[in-house]
Amino acid sequence: MGIVYIPPNPPIPPSQQPTVSVYASVIEPKIANTLVRRLNQIAPLENLRHVKRVRKQCLDGGKMQLTVILCLACENGSLSGSMPKDIVELINSYQLSAFVTKVCKYAALSKEEWEEQCKLWPTSYHPPTYNIEGITGFSEEESQLIFSFMKLAIRLATSTNDQVVNAAVIVDPSSKQIIASACDQIHSWNTTVSKTSLEPGQLEQSAVFTSCLTPVVGAMLNGSAGRSKQLTDVSCLHPWHWPQPQLLASSSFFHPLRHAAMVAIESSAAGDRLLFPSNQDIRNQCSHEDDMQSVYSNSPAKRQKTVPLEVVDSEPVDNCSIIVGPEQVRPYLCTGYDIYLVWEPCAMCAMALVHQRIRRIFYALPNPNAGALGSVHRLQGEKSLNHHYAVFRILLPEEELMFGRREGNVYWYNCCENDK
Amino acid sequence: MASASQVEEDLATAVAFMQLAIQQAKIAMDSLEVPVGCVIVEDGKVIASGRNRTTETRNATRHAEMEAIDVLLEQWQRTGISVAQVAEKFSNCILYVTCEPCIMCAAALSILGIKKVYYGCANDKFGGCGSILSLHSGSSEHQFSDEGSQRKGFTCTGGILASEAISLLRSFYEQGNPNAPKPHRQPVHQPGN
């Protein structure tokens, strides 16, 4: 098992990073300060802030040699013509001999890239100061918690009647509480019950759940339905498939846009409205509060006993936060929350999660047909968006993915195979 | 080729329907929602309308388009028509929306297979019909052999009553978005579409 961070930019092999040409010249160390100050005025390296202006090299015999970047060169690299007049004057007055060399165009995103860049010309590297936890790695306890939520999502994905669908679980990682969970509801959206909150005990169940193979899944896979459907019911994998004739005599209600993530967002919003009635509703708050006490208080003491995960976090756990109270801070949409999805979401769902301010997305299987977190699009790398989540793929062994070896699910099997 | 007079007539029709979308946006504005509105037209008749409801629902996906789509799906299914008929109906629908559909809505419109979209102002932060992504263009290198899995495109025309749409958004943000989180939380400055 593993957790792989899916960065905003597609990975580039360190040795194939784009470069730009610059004019450089060896200089006398004693003129370095004056020269660099002057160069920063007349030819600042605006878009190459990661590139060091001066390269220091230790020559044989211990002598130090300094080389300075004069200015950008045009790509055909001819020495004449394109150089600014001020630079030419500088070259003449200090008797420099300019040559063309290459530097990396973009700042390094990883230590590996940086090491490779420095072979060409030294650059600076600032390890990301991300405020999203996990990008620089997860502790063993965090990983276990993440795996347990993903297993819960997988269990949901296979528990709807006899279909395999996508499933979504929204979690508040600070309290380890499930905010909402949902499956695709393309064909049965009024018949499937979506829970705004699972009972705390259910998480523990999932954490100790070792095999995700439920009897329902087993029956389905052995039957013909599983064999012929080939995961076309997974809405994010096949978003355009909904008008196709259905093999199942499903309910008469359908909704082509009720993908698991959309339903989970709706469900979490409904929970938010219930927990934090707006000002107009405030008169009714007292009576609501009674109802909510019964819904949400599987009393804190009991909760702690049955959910050992609660104590994993080193932060002090505020028991009061579980009980609804007027002093509790109303969340802004899903700020700070994580979502677990069995499959990489499509563009609609991925953008919905931007709108709803999800903090981290964990998915188990890529979506080569319509995935928007790296496969077809890469929304986490779209700079213009006003919110950016961190994306992780969870690598689970085939057993955990339930039916890697079953012949009925060629696609799923191939997915697992390709990843090795 | 359409004649010049035909083009003019089409534009006049588009402007007329866009006026109705603007009215929806104004209703959103009056409800302290980001002012974006839309109407969906089938055979020259408005069959659904919608406006932003993200604040009221605390669901940031409740854009005007999603609201109007839900109205249609519910309305059609009450009459008992089949999945195939619903798909057929969407392929004859034209959407008029005051702001370029965002990536989410553009993807949704492609999934439904809508025929055509007219929008007012471009959405240079989230636009899914050319500004950031081009989800309206059906062609793609990622095509499955399965016919049912192919992405669908739709034609898209922007700039219809764009200045009206922009001035609504501008006055909304100038008066200060009363629904934006408090400054110590994450700031939001965007049209809701």
CA dihedral A401, A405, A410, A412 (to 10 degrees): 10
| Catalytic status, residue B100 | no
Task: With CB atoms and an 8 Å threshold, state whether A386 touches B189.
Answer: yes
What pLDDT is stored for residue A254 in this prediction?
A: 87
Residue A179 near residue A265 (C-beta atoms within 8 A):
no
Contact B87 A242 (CB under 8 A): yes
Candidates A231, A232, A236, A257: best to mutate against B (most CBs of B within 10 A) is A257
Closest CA to A219 of A166, A165, A167, A162: A162
User: Encoding tokens for residue A23?
Assistant: 């004019």
Distance between CA atoms of B125 and B147, rounded to whole angstroms?
33
Task: Please say whether the beta carbons of A322 and A176 come within 8 A.
Answer: no
Of A163, A338, A81, A348, give the one whose Cα is nearest residue B66.
A348
Q: How far apart are CA A156 and CA A150, in angstroms?
A: 10
- Dist. CA A245–CA A228, nearest whole Å: 13
Q: Which of A161, A149, A269, A268 is nearest to A202 (CA)?
A: A149
**Among A256, A9, A236, residue whose Cα is nearest residue A113:** A9
DSSP structural state of residue B155: E
Quick one: A246 exposed, middle or buried, by C-beta within 10 A (0-12, 13-18, 19+)?
Answer: middle
Nearest chain A residue to B113 by CA distance is A240
Q: Which two tokens stand for residue A165?
A: 């669908």
Question: What pLDDT score was predicted for residue B132?
Answer: 93
Name the residue with tokens 């037209």.
B41
Parallel, antiparallel, or unpaired for β B93-99 and A338-343?
Answer: unpaired
Predicted confidence at residue A297, as pLDDT, reads 35
Q: Give the ranges where A122-199 is alpha helix by DSSP (H).
A: 140-157
Phi and psi (nearest 5°) for B159? 90, 10
Burial of residue A316 (number of CB atoms within 10 Å: 0-12, 13-18, 19+): exposed
Residues within 8 A of A (CB atoms), B 109-128 only: 110-113, 124-126, 128
CA-CA distance, B105 to B61, in Å (whole number)? Answer: 9
SS3 call for A55: strand
Q: How far is A127 from chain B (nearest CA, A)?
A: 24
Measured between CA atoms, the residue of chain A closest to residue B151 is A240
B-chain CB neighbours of A377 within 8 Å are 133
Closest-CA distance, A141 to chain B, in angstroms, reads 28
Q: How many residues does chain B have?
A: 193
* Contact criterion met (CB below 8 Å) for A155 and A205: no
Say what the ipTM of the complex is.
Answer: 0.90
A309 and A147 Cβ atoms separated by less than 8 Å: no
Q: How many residues does chain A have?
A: 420
Start-end of H helices in A56-177: 85-94, 111-120, 140-157
Nearest to B60 among A252, A333, A377 (CB): A333
Residues in B closer than 8 angstroms to A370, CB to CB, are: 142, 151
How many CB atoms are located within 10 Å of the residue A119 CB?
Answer: 10
Q: What is the CA radius of gyration of chain A?
A: 28
**B59 contacts A356? CB cut-off 8 A:** yes
- Residue A390's DSSP bridge partners are A360
User: Of B8, B42, B65, B88, which one is the catalytic site residue?
Assistant: B65
* From B128, B152, B189, residue closest to A240, measured CB to CB: B152
Closest residue by Cα to residue A400 from A171, A146, A39: A146
Kindly determine whether residue A348 and residue B185, on different chains, have CB atoms separated by under 8 Å.
Answer: no
Q: Which residues of chain B have pLDDT under 70?
A: 1-2, 139-149, 176-193
Residue A66 · residue A54 · CB < 8 Å: yes
The predicted structure's pLDDT at residue A228:
38
Q: With beta carbons under 8 A apart, name residues in chain A contacting B148.
A: 232, 238, 240-241, 243-244
Q: What is the pLDDT of residue A137?
A: 83
Query: In which residue ranges of chain A is pLDDT below 70?
Result: 75-81, 127-131, 160-162, 188-230, 245-252, 278-328, 399-420
Q: What is the largest CA-CA distance in chain B?
A: 57
pLDDT reported for residue B46:
98
What is the pLDDT, as a whole number, of residue B72? 96
Spatial separation of the C-alpha atoms in residues A385 and A401, rounded to whole Å: 33
Chain A residues whose CB is inside 8 A of the B188 CB are 386
What's the pLDDT at A418? 42
The C-alpha atoms of residue A332 and residue B34 are separated, in whole angstroms, by 16
